[in-house]
């Protein structure tokens, strides 16, 4: 079995090389992103120049920290905006909470809607479509219910859209753990792994996709691609809308603003299902990039290198490969998790990202096992980058 040990050693060396190259790309992309963010903040736009905005927020049940999340949108330092909420059912408890919070901020126009059972496979896309029909303004900002924002959020997200060539703006996000260890693995993955991937994509090819927690779009650009209706059967509707707007000739911009994405998966099963759904989404929306991402992890190759080195009587090499993997992921956690999104967990508990890196590789491999997935109470089958609703389907 000596050949197997040499094969594993070669694989570990390859993985160490590719993850190191990726780390160098991360460093370059972070420097570029931070430079652009500083430049953007240095150009102050007066309140009179900022256009009115419609914020579209679908809600579905009582989620962790929902009150704080919703209220943060009513506390925006922005001259003129409205907020629209929509839920599938009239008895959704989140609607009553939205009404209660809205009553405390009478100066902010607010509209609350019940859309009924979505006729499209992708429920949020249908919510956005229904809200856009009655939204008053020409810039639409869609945001998930599990997002908390700072008072300068709308100002920093909308400002790039003053340029006529910009059709869409999206944001990176910091994972905010609201449920313990398993949620913490997801949260640090958002802060580091997700952000690193987005920044490198922005460096290499520019933004050609959106990130669901925040997508701001000009109505004219949305109309040019056919409106939210065209995203209704896409699994990754956030990716699809950005891709379509880019192909329609508009620029998609990555804002320098960082938002909080609240994570509340309180057990392994919920965490695993959530991670696997995301991975399958990427697999089908960006198949080549997703396949290549198997080479950007570090910890799996470090442990493979250790095992191969010990088996071949080269313990120094084995431990060296593992040490290189640990250093690689620690640096990425500090550079991205703290340097970009200011996540104190990524700074002080970087070891959690080492675990997340191992988990990420396992999730990546598992994403190739099935074309079925689940979201809320629905079951889906993926066909290309689109989804088909399945009744009583097994995952």
| Same domain, yes or no: 264 and 292 | no
User: What is the per-residue pLDDT for 274?
Assistant: 86
| Same domain, yes or no: 221 and 252 | yes
Q: Among 244, 264, 286, identify where a domain stops.
A: 286
Which residues have C-beta within 8 Å of that of residue 384, sequence separation ≥ 6? 284
Task: State the burial class of residue 369 (Cβ atoms within 10 Å of its Cβ: 0-12, 13-18, 19+).
Answer: exposed
Cα–Cα distances in Å, from 356 out to 67, 185, 188, 280?
Answer: 29, 6, 7, 17
User: What is the per-residue pLDDT for 376?
Assistant: 64
User: What is the per-residue pLDDT for 365?
Assistant: 93
User: What is the per-residue pLDDT for 42?
Assistant: 61
Low-confidence ranges of the chain (pLDDT < 70): 41-44, 47-48, 371, 374-378, 380, 382-395
User: What is the per-residue pLDDT for 273?
Assistant: 87
Q: Which domain holds residue 21?
A: 2-29+288-387
In a domain, 63, yes or no: yes
Q: Please provide the average confidence, as pLDDT, over all residues in the chain.
A: 91
In a domain, 212, yes or no: yes
| Same domain, yes or no: 258 and 367 | no
Show the tokens assigned to 305.
């290198």
Q: Among 257, 286, 315, identify where a domain stops.
A: 286
| Number of domains within the chain | 2
Question: What pairs with residue 262 in β-bridges?
Answer: 176
Residue 158: give its domain's CATH number.
3.90.550.10
| Same domain, yes or no: 179 and 112 | yes
In a domain, 183, yes or no: yes
User: What is the per-residue pLDDT for 391?
Assistant: 45
Q: pTM for this structure?
A: 0.91
């Amino acid at each position: 079995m000596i050949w197997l040990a040499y094969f594993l050693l070669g694989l570990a060396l390859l993985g160490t090389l590719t993850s190191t190259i990726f780390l160098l790309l991360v460093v370059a992309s972070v420097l570029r992103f931070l430079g652009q963010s500083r430049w953007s903040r240095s150009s102050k736009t007066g309140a009179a120049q900022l256009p009115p905005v419609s914020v579209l927020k679908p809600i579905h049940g009582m989620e962790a920290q929902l009150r704080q999340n919703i209220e943060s949108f009513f506390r925006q330092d922005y001259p003129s905006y409205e907020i629209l909420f929509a839920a599938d059912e009239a008895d959704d408890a989140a609607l009553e909470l939205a009404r209660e919070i809205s009553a405390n901020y009478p100066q902010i126009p607010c509209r609350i809607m019940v859309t009924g059972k979505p006729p499209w496979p992708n429920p949020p896309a249908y919510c956005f479509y229904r809200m856009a029909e009655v939204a008053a303004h020409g810039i639409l900002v869609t945001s998930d219910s599990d997002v908390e924002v700072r008072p300068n959020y709308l100002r920093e997200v909308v400002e790039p859209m003053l340029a006529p060539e910009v059709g869409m703006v999206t944001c990176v996000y910091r994972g905010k753990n609201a449920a313990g260890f398993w949620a913490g693995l997801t949260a640090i993955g958002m802060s580091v792994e997700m952000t690193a991937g987005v920044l490198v994509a922005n460096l290499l090819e520019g933004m050609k996709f959106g990130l669901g927690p925040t997508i701001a779009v000009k109505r004219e650009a949305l109309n040019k691609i056919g409106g939210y209706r065209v995203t209704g059967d896409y699994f990754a509707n956030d990716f699809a809308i950005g891709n379509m707007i880019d192909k329609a000739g508009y620029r998609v911009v990555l804002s320098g603003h960082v938002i909080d994405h609240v994570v509340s998966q309180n057990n392994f099963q919920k965490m695993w299902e959530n991670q696997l759904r995301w991975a399958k989404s990427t697999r089908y929306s960006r198949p080549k990039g997703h396949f290549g991402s198997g080479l950007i992890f570090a910890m799996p190759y470090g442990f493979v290198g250790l095992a191969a080195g010990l088996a071949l009587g080269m313990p120094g090499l084995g431990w060296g490969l593992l040490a290189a993997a640990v250093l690689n992921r620690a640096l990425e956690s500090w550079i991205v998790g703290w340097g970009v999104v200011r996540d104190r967990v990524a700074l002080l508990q970087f070891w959690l990202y080492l675990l997340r890196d191992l988990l990420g590789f396992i999730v990546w491999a598992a994403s190739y096992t099935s074309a079925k997935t689940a979201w809320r109470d629905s079951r889906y089958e993926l066909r290309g980058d689109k989804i088909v609703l399945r009744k009583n389907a097994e995952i």
